[in-house]
Structure formats: structure tokens, C-alpha cells
Amino acid sequence: MDVIRCSWAGKEKIYQDYHDQVWGRAVTDPKELFAKLCLDGQQAGLSWITILKKQTHYEQAFAHFEPNEIAKFDEQKVEQLMQNAGIVRNRLKINSIIKNARAYLKMEEEGINFSEFIWQFVNNQTIINHWQSMQQVPATTAESDAMSKALKKQGFSFVGSTICYAFMQAVGLVNDHIVSCHCYQDCVDVARR
């Protein structure tokens, strides 16, 4: 019997594994949320699979998304990253990860827990949707609009509402698996725990 997945998961194993094991699963670790937000920002204007295939290269290039390390990156390091064929060589996108690391650390210094900050937009609870098809899934919501605005205010970049909504889907702030998808109920059960 064929496994039913959300249509975007396609036929590639890397995409199906990501769909089955990562997408829609609640993430509460602040640094993991930071890494995911940075990666989601890299997909602006590109497909997510492009970034997914480069994820390991990003982890190596950006000190495994350790904000303290990234915040030290200087112009010389940016030039070095611009030569790295393993990542998207876009100066604005590279600089955004550095800018985001500094914003993350500034929040930490101010006593703001990044996980609590992110989860406040859904009242600390996964929004469980009941979509019948991917066509029903929105690109942005009031929550992603609010998150985008708040992150920009904190100094983050590449955090428009569409990117924020994709991030919310990925880290389980919303369950946007279609109801017939084999992951739907599992994500609902985890969310209700």
C-alpha cells in the first residue's frame, strides 16, 4: 500500500524523509529554532529542496548555527563564504545569518528566551489545521505577520511573513499536514501532549 504524504514531498528520498521526520514536528530548543529560521530565510526566491540539499554545507559553513560563533564573522569571512559553492552565494543572505545571530544574542542578553518568543505567536500550542489538500494551505497568516514584524523589530532579516509561515510549518507551530497524510495524526498527538 502506498504511503499518503502531502503532495509537496514529491518522490525524492531527501524530501520524503524531511516530510516524514522533521516537517510539522514541534521544536522548542532555542538554538534549533534559530538554525531553522536562518535556513528558511535562505530559501527566499528558491525552492526548499535546494536549501535542504545544502543543509550540511550550511551547518559546516556557519559553525553549526552557533550564534556566538557566527556573530564574530567579519567581512573577510563573508568573502570566504561567497566562494563556498556548497551554500547559496548571495551576500545579503549570508549577511542575514550573521545579523540574525547578533540579534539572537542581543535578545539572550536582554533575558528573552528565543523559544518562548517564537512560541508566543501561537499561545505556546501548535495550531492544528484540517486541510483536505495543499491548495487550502495559506502562504501567510495573522500569526506569521505578527512574528515577522516582531522579529524585524528585534533586528532579524529575511523574516518576511511568507518565510515566517514556512518556518512555523517546519517547526510545528502549525500542523499543516493534510488530514489524509500519514504524518497528520502523529503530529496532532505530539501537539496535544
Residue 182 within any structural domain of the chain: yes
Q: Is residue 166 in some structural domain?
A: yes
Domains: count for the chain: 1
Q: Is 2 inside any structural domain?
A: no
Residue 192: its pLDDT value, please? 83
Residue partners of 23: CB distance under 8 A and separation at least 6:
169, 170, 177, 183
pLDDT in tens, 97-149: 999 999 999 999 999 999 999 999 999 999 999 999 999 999 999 999 999 99
* Phi and psi at residue 22, to the nearest 5°: -120, -55
Domain span including residue 60: 7-192
- CA–CA gap between residue 26 and residue 83 (Å, rounded): 35
CA distances from residue 142 to 10, 127, 145, 152, 168 in whole angstroms, order as listed: 29, 12, 5, 16, 12
Residue 184 has pLDDT above 80, yes or no: yes
Asked whether residue 99 is domain-assigned, the answer is yes
User: In CATH, what number is assigned to the domain containing residue 22?
Assistant: 1.10.340.30
Residue labelled with grid coordinates 573577510: 76
Instruction: Enumerate residues 6+ apart whose C-beta is below 8 A from 38.
Output: 58, 62, 65, 96, 97, 100
pTM, 2 dp: 0.96
Among 44-48, 55-59, 62-66, name the one with the lowest average pLDDT: 44-48
In a domain, 142, yes or no: yes
d(CA 180, CA 63): 39
What is the chain's mean pLDDT, rounded? 96
Tell whether 80 is covered by a domain. yes
DSSP assignment of 140-153 equals: --HHHHHHHHHHHH
What is the grid cell recorded at 127? 495550531
Per-residue pLDDT, 1: 67
For residue 135, how many other CB atoms are within 10 A of its CB?
A: 8
Q: Report if residue 1 sits inside a domain.
A: no
- C-alpha cell at position 105: 544574542
